[in-house]
Chains A and B, each alone.
Chain A
Amino acid sequence: MKNIITKGITKVYNPDTIPVVALDGVDLEIEQGEFTAIVGPSGSGKTTLLNIIGGLDKPSHGSVTISGTEITKMRDNKLIEFRKEHIGFVFQAYNLIPVLTAEENVEFVMLLQNRPSAERDQRTTELLEAVGLGDKRNTRPAQLSGGQQQRVAVARALAPKPDFILADEPTANLDSKSTENLLDIMARLNHEEGITFVFSTHDQRVIDRAHRVITLVDGKIATDELQNPEK
């Protein structure tokens, strides 16, 4: 079963000086196919939770299990390998590789996975078409708009066929039109291909499109609600 289970996740920054509790005993279960938004005010622990779920950061206490594998005790190299195979990331600042074209950015993780050339080509073409950038495959990030860059970032995150896509404030730098466009693409991929999306956001437009909204306050889950998305 492809799911994310967190048990008693606690994260304390500066434990030896001035301790700051970012997460305080977060228990959570996210099932495959969910379109979940983690919301909350600044400093509530959204990004920290996403980083810990994605294996980018270690919790002070507690465990994270992804698709049956506990990742919190994994060694660094294993964790990188695990992320490459199971988790896709979409960042607020797009974070594409500037010297690679859109096509090469999407293909990059598959190259790291040593996928065959034909498979890479086919998948890259499919994904760029899916995010509406089939005509921009040879364009470098600097020549793309913010919205287009974020769509390439989504295609890149999807390329290795991960179990989950973790998106940290994916719309924070986008205008309304680009935000709608991006959300349409992600909702379609979720609906049609069953891809799981977990967002950290405080963008109401994203919250309105989510099926499940988890609200964090002071590092604790305040509410966890299912909702019917607007579209």
Chain B
Amino acid sequence: MTTIFKLAWRNVWRNRRRTFITMASIFFAVLLSAFMVAFQKGAWDRMIDNVVGYYFGYAQVHQEGYWKEQSIDKAFAIPAELQSTPQDIHHIRIVPRIESFALASHENYTTGVLVVGTDPVAEDSLTKLSTRVISGRYLLPGEEGALIAEGIAQNMKLGVNDTLVLISQGYHGVNAAGKYPIVGIVNFPSPDLNKRMVYLPLEVAQYFFGAENLVTTVALNLENKDAVPPAVKALRKALPSGEYEVMDWKQLMPDLMKAREADAAGAYLMLFVLYVIIAFGIYGTILMMTKEREYEFGVLISIGMKRLKLGATIWIEIILLGILGSIAGILGAIPLVYYFNTHPLDLSQMSEEATGIYEKWGFDPIFPTAFEPGVFWVQALVVFLITAVLAFYPLLKIIRLKPVEAMRA
């Protein structure tokens, strides 16, 4: 075995130009595929974080059936299990909300809005709402005041300290009406959120809807996406079955998931095309090497080297090239992916039109790469496996080789 490795290793460096060409093929293959995957994954992770971070959270708890038919009548008192279990087991912080639509009015202007009663402190820890304040200040717990989105302020000619009148149907049909001074104005990149969000402190909104101590939604504040499945599983187990629905972000945003899957399918197709091009590049150099060394293979078989042993030597030689090329590819991809992770591609600096399109969909037009180990090693492994499979070509050639003909050539 040592002889085979020695022979293979020395053969790797025998024709340095060929070695560097093969290694370069593998290097660029890993680099490009890793960058492509990192970019695609990073962009989607960012979009999901955007949507989750703007409002939804990674998971939510409602009364059973609320998500299908979002009615204030499906408000519920936060069960004890939800108040104690999450923090104890999974370090989840809850963000209780009461949400319903209302008619907002100011002077001669009226518009439909989504009133969200929330705990200002808990809300801020989940959605960082206070950072979106562009005028005035953030909500204080329990105060009689409203925080409105910029779009509403513009449409209704509202400013800080103006009064907003809200009219709605409250819990189980009670009349809901109230007037609230505007303490601040917030901006969302999403035009949809920008034209309909009105925030009130939780207790104030509960009083407005006539639903004291009730909430319609409990958003879960988790550290990251990885914490979602165990948290959801634990909550489903802890809460009385049939009374509550615990939904993760994939269930909350099925359209986003479908869009991601469709985009991923396109990306896989691109990746497949890239792999095919890469495979042909690597195959070309292997083919060239095999052809060049047919004479030598003939000699080695003549002097008594078994075909399988010779094939194994050449296979190991190519595998060594694959390992070297893949490692080089990873080392090359790490700084590239890291750079675009810390300096994301910002379309807002390139095209206003593109910015507009993304904002319309509720995403900021910033695309960082995903800097995760999986991005590198999976691509390196795929390219390495392609190389390993192609490395069987010389073995097949050697098995069929006729020494006399090879040496005559």
Contacts and interface: CB of A to CB of B under 8 A. Distances in A.
The 3 closest A-B pairs by CB, nearest first: A84-B304, A99-B10, A95-B299
27 contacts: A51-B404, A54-B302, A56-B302, A56-B403, A56-B404, A57-B402, A77-B306, A77-B307, A80-B305, A83-B302, A84-B303, A84-B304, A89-B302, A91-B299, A95-B296, A95-B299, A97-B296, A99-B11, A100-B10, A108-B3, A108-B303, A112-B305, A112-B306, A112-B309, A113-B304, A157-B303, A160-B304
Contacts, number: 55
Contacts of A108: 3, 303
Contacts of A160: 304
Given A56-B403, A56-B404, A77-B306, A98 B7 contact: no
A97 B403 CA distance: 16
B303 A156 contact: yes
Given A84-B303, A84-B305, A95-B296, 7 more contacts: A56-B403, A56-B404, A81-B304, A83-B303, A97-B296, A98-B14, A100-B10
Contacts of A127: none
A109 B302 CA distance: 11
B300 interface: yes
A111 interface: yes
Contacts of A98: 14
B3 A111 contact: yes
B301 interface: yes
A71 to B, nearest CB: 13
A87 to B, nearest CB: 8
Contacts of B402: 57
Interface of B: 3, 7, 10-11, 14, 295-296, 299-307, 309, 402-404, 407
Interface in A159-213: 160
A81 B306 CA distance: 8
Nearest to A76: B307
A156 B304 CA distance: 12
B336 to A, nearest CB: 35
Given A57-B404, A99-B7, A80 B14 contact: no
B307 A109 contact: no
Given A56-B403, A91-B407, A112 B7 contact: no
Contact of B7 (A54, A100, A113): A100
B302 A97 contact: no
Interface string A53-96: 01011000000000000000000110011011100010100010
A89 B302 CA distance: 8
Contacts of B296: 95, 97
B304 A99 contact: no
A112 B304 contact: yes
Contacts of B3: 108, 111
Contacts of B303: 83-84, 89, 108-109, 156-157
Contacts of B11: 99
A109 B303 CA distance: 7
B172 to A, nearest CB: 87
Nearest to A98: B14
A109 B7 contact: no
Contacts of B309: 112
Contacts of A111: 3
A53 B14 CA distance: 33
Contacts of A51: 404
Given A99-B7, A99-B11, A99-B14, A80 B404 contact: no
A51 B191 CA distance: 84
Q: Which of B300, B304, B306, B407 has the most C-beta atoms of chain A within 10 angstroms of its own C-beta?
A: B304
A167 B21 CA distance: 38
Nearest to A160: B304
A207 to B, nearest CB: 24
B82 to A, nearest CB: 70
Contacts of A112: 304-306, 309
A111 B4 CA distance: 10
Given A56-B404, A111-B3, A80 B300 contact: no
Nearest to B308: A77
A125 B267 CA distance: 61
Nearest to A95: B299
Given A97-B7, A98-B14, A80 B407 contact: no
Contacts of B7: 97, 99-100
